[in-house]
Amino acid sequence: MDGLQQTPPAGLVAVDIDLQARPGTDSFLEAERAAAVRDLLAQNQFLPVGRAGAFRLRLAMKERKLVLDISDIAGRPVVRHYLSLRPLSRVMRDYFLVCQSYEASLGNSAPGRIEAIDMGRRGLHDEGASELQERLGDKIEMDHATARRLFTLICALNWRVRHQG
């Protein structure tokens, strides 16, 4: 080698969502979820406070709370956080409604209407991301783009939980 040392990855290197219950899926939210995971793995700033390195994240719902299981790259547990979604319930509800409107508008609405709905969706994304950063700030260091993608994943997970059986 030429003396350059390769820097090990930092932040999220794997994201898993507990999708035990498989009710009918919403194709738009599934596409959003897949894009969020892909984008998170490509670029993120996600570090449990006081830790460094590469991490795996597993998201699940338990007793109406979001569970963030964070492990190291080898899968050894690092920390588990429980987060009430009650403070996010309004923005998530609005996000679901806007996503449904956006999907329904595709192909049969004027481009200006679709653009307006998408602007609303992006605004809700920003609001949800800011709320996540604030609520998790003392537990997880993350930038706004990472928080936006995490908000998408939480919405996709919560959509499935809310629409089970």
Asked if the model's pLDDT at residue 90 lies above 90, the reply is yes
Q: What is the mean pLDDT of residues 72-82?
A: 96
- Given a contact cutoff of 8 angstroms between Cβ atoms, the answer to whether 44 and 38 are in contact is no
Strand ranges in the chain using DSSP code E only, listed in sequence order: 11-17, 46-48, 54-62, 65-72, 77-84, 140-142
Residue 143 is encoded by which pair of tokens? Answer: 């930038």
Residues forming beta bridges with residue 61, ordered by sequence position: 66
What phi-psi label fits residue 81: left (phi over 0), alpha (psi between -120 and 50 degrees) or beta?
beta
pTM here? 0.84
- 13: helix, strand or coil: strand
- Given a contact cutoff of 8 angstroms between Cβ atoms, the answer to whether 67 and 23 are in contact is no
User: Which residue, among 79, 89, 110, 111, has the nearest Cα to 162 in the 3D structure?
Assistant: 89
pLDDT in tens, 27-61: 777 788 889 999 999 999 999 999 999 999 999 99
What is the predicted pLDDT for the residue at 135? 95
Q: In the structure, what pLDDT confidence band is assigned to residue 165 with cuts at 50, 70 and 90?
A: very low
Phi, psi of 24 (to 5 degrees): -55, 135
pLDDT in tens, 108-154: 878 888 888 889 989 999 999 999 999 999 999 999 999 999 999 99
Q: In the structure, what pLDDT confidence band is assigned to residue 18 with cuts at 50, 70 and 90?
A: confident
